[in-house]
């Protein structure tokens, strides 16, 4: 296509020409710090999250550091409208998780409508929709509603992060489900903790697991 000729796809790290369906070249893949997490076993993410709310399983695809390749990849999806990055990340997850006992539902963390309007899309939808296709597990983008508008977690100080309590509301009652909450980067865990407790306190017989693109180290 003409657009591919005029704007060829290049590796995010070394700028080498790559296939249009890729985000980094094969050599730079080795620079991505993938986690050694197993969804059904204890790991660093599960240990951190368990301190804040009951967690069935937990998985982080990558380890997140400032100026790292993981950060560049997520920012391409989050801010630069590169939809295929969500599919690529989902594919990498599918290579690492095999569900012997499938969860019932994927649920994405919602954006406030003001931020959604500014950005034009929720990057988690692209990622979660691809995961839903891979695993044939339903995904909901409407189970949760964001009730207030605030700065990104990474730009908040500790006091501001604690004020995110009650920022999310459940839109319907859930019963007898294993829900996997999907987010981009796990930092303090406050966002997922608030959401998890909102679900647990307003549902019956629900288990919560988490799946994130990266875990802040």
Q: Mark residue 166 as left, alpha or beta (left: phi above 0; alpha: psi -120 to 50; beta: remaining).
A: left
The angle at the Cα of 205, spanning 162 to 140, to the nearest 5 degrees, equals 65
Tens of pLDDT, residues 150-163: 555 555 555 445 44
The pLDDT confidence band at residue 113, using thresholds 50, 70 and 90, is: confident
pLDDT for 148 beyond 80: no
Torsion of CA 129, 145, 105, 76, to 10 degrees: 30
Pick the CATH number of 33-216 from 3.40.50, 1.10.10, 3.30.70, 3.40.1580: 3.40.50
pLDDT for 187 beyond 70: yes
Q: DSSP class of residue 31?
A: T
Domain range annotation of the chain: 1-31, 33-216
| CA-to-CA separations, 143 to 25, 112, 173, in angstroms, rounded | 37, 14, 9
Average pLDDT over residues 90-114: 93
Average pLDDT over residues 162-184: 86
Q: Which of 8-17, 64-73, 140-149 has the lowest mean pLDDT?
A: 140-149
The pLDDT confidence band at residue 115, using thresholds 50, 70 and 90, is: confident
Mean residue pLDDT across the chain: 88
Of 58, 61, 7, nearest to 33 by C-alpha is: 61
**Higher pLDDT among residues 6 and 131, named by residue:** 131
The pLDDT > 90 percentage for the chain reads: 72
């Amino acid at each position: 296509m003409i657009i591919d000729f005029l704007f060829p796809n290049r590796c995010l790290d070394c700028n080498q020409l790559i296939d249009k369906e890729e985000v980094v070249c094969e050599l730079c893949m080795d620079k991505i710090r993938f986690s050694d997490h197993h969804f059904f076993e204890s790991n660093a993410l599960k240990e951190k999250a368990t301190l804040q709310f009951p967690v069935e399983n937990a998985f982080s695809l990558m380890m997140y550091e400032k100026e790292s390749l993981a950060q560049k990849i997520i920012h391409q999806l989050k801010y630069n409208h590169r939809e295929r990055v969500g599919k690529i990340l989902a594919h990498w997850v599918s290579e690492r998780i095999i569900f012997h006992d499938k969860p019932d539902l994927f649920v994405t963390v919602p954006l406030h409508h003001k931020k959604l309007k500014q950005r034009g899309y929720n990057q988690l939808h692209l990622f979660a929709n691809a995961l839903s296709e891979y695993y044939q597990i339903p995904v909901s983008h409407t189970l949760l509603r964001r009730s207030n508008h605030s700065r990104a977690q990474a730009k908040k100080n500790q006091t501001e992060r604690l004020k995110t309590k009650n920022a999310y509301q459940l839109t319907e009652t859930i019963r007898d489900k294993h829900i996997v909450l999907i987010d981009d980067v796990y930092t303090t865990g406050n966002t997922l903790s608030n959401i998890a407790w909102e679900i647990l306190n307003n549902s019956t017989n629900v288990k919560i697991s988490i799946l994130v693109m990266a875990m802040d180290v």
